[in-house]
Amino acid sequence: YEFTRAVTRRPSAGIVNGLRAEDIGTPDLAKMEEAHAHYVATLKKTGAEVIELPALEEYPDAVFVEDTALCLPQGAVMMRPGAPTRMGEVAEMEPTLRRLYDDVRRIEGPGHIEGGDILVTVREILVGRSDRTDAAGVAELAEIVSDWGHKLREVFTPPGVLHFKTDCSLLDGETILATKRLDASGCFEGYRVLHTAEGEEAAANSIRFNQFVLCPAGFPRTAEMLSNAGYEVVQISNSECAKLDGGMSCLSLRF
Ligand code: CIR
């Protein structure tokens, strides 16, 4: 949760065609751009360098850069998205990470894995199997990160939930914010877990970035619980990304 860099990508007009589990309306580009600018400004306010990549019209979901790579201190791993329309986003991200890292590896397949299913904690890397991340993808990542001395543990994303991190986020070295439904799976044993408030499950996709916890706006009870627990909460509008099942973590690579 302590980072010196982030990579983001500006949303494009293509977002109207972004993937979604359920159609709850068309995202509005101007509103998404405004929220995105607030998000980037908040990351920058911590003193981190934010590399802002240009919009990509041809990939409707390209604003959700988190799914394209895993960035660790030792190197970066290019993902292999389970969503066919998102596969090309990985090659668009790779040159940027090659400039920043000496060691860049690739998930070659046949498995699939998306960054949204990966939660890096201080002690291990948790990867949730989901509709986008399969056993072969997890196994290939496990082999790569073991070269770098990391332990990987395979867990499960609840049915009907897009990504593992849709339902959880790391708050500090020992604390995780999670929905009750995900915590009930037992995957966070040994951690301190704070639950999102009832009916505010979408607040689980927050991020701790240096001194701030960036939370989607509109979940007042969870935001209050976090500030009472001592976290400095910044609420960012997520109305447009939410239409595409996206949240705070999806919008950046952090390292
Ligand atoms: C998708 O379905 O792939 C995008 N509409 C949303 C991706 C959200 N990414 C994330 O949670 N890491």
Mean pLDDT of 65-76: 98
The tokens for 98 are 């090659």
Nearest CA to ligand 1 atom 3: 19
Mean pLDDT of 239-244: 98
The pLDDT of residue 139 is 98
Average pLDDT, the chain: 97
Report the nearest atom of ligand 1 relative to the CA of 67: 12
Which amino acids bring their CB within 6 angstroms of ligand 1?
Answer: 18-20, 61, 64, 66-67, 83, 86, 115-116, 162-163, 165-166, 244-246, 249-250
137 CA distance to ligand 1 middle (Å) = 17
Confidence band of 230 (pLDDT split at 50, 70, 90): very high
Report the nearest atom of ligand 1 relative to the CA of 249: 12
- Reported as half-sphere exposure (CB side, CA atoms, 13 A), residue 103 has a value of 10
Report the nearest atom of ligand 1 relative to the CA of 81: 3
The pLDDT of residue 221 is 98
Q: Which residues, in sequence order, are bridge partners of residue 50?
A: 6
The predicted-structure confidence for 194-212, as pLDDT tens digits, reads as follows 999 999 999 999 999 999 9
Q: Which residues, in sequence order, are bridge partners of residue 212?
A: 209, 232
195 CA distance to ligand 1 middle (Å) = 22
Determine contact, residues 152/141, Cβ cutoff 8 Å: yes
Pocket test for ligand 1, best of 66, 79, 245 (most atoms within 8 A of CB): 245
The predicted-structure confidence for 137-150, as pLDDT tens digits, reads as follows 999 999 999 999 99
Nearest to 118 by CA among 132, 102, 98: 132
Share of the chain above pLDDT 70, in %: 100
228 CA distance to ligand 1 middle (Å) = 30
The predicted-structure confidence for 150-163, as pLDDT tens digits, reads as follows 999 999 999 999 99
- Reported as half-sphere exposure (CB side, CA atoms, 13 A), residue 43 has a value of 26
The pLDDT of residue 136 is 98
The predicted-structure confidence for 36-64, as pLDDT tens digits, reads as follows 999 999 999 999 999 999 999 999 999 99
The pLDDT of residue 156 is 94
The pLDDT of residue 128 is 98
The pLDDT of residue 21 is 95
The tokens for 174 are 């020992």
Catalytically annotated residues: 163, 250
* CA pair distance 236, 225, nearest whole angstrom: 17
Report the nearest atom of ligand 1 relative to the CA of 86: 3
Share of the chain above pLDDT 90, in %: 100
Single-letter residue type at 25: G
Nearest CA to ligand 1 atom 6: 246
The pLDDT of residue 157 is 93
212 CA distance to ligand 1 middle (Å) = 22
The pLDDT of residue 107 is 98
Is pTM beyond 0.95? Reply is: yes
Q: ipTM of this complex > 0.90?
A: yes
The predicted-structure confidence for 167-190, as pLDDT tens digits, reads as follows 999 999 999 999 999 999 999 999
* CA pair distance 138, 155, nearest whole angstrom: 10
Determine contact, residues 134/125, Cβ cutoff 8 Å: no
79 φ/ψ sector (left φ>0, alpha ψ -120 to 50, else beta): beta
Query: CB neighbours of 95 closer than 8 A, spacing ≥ 6?
Result: none
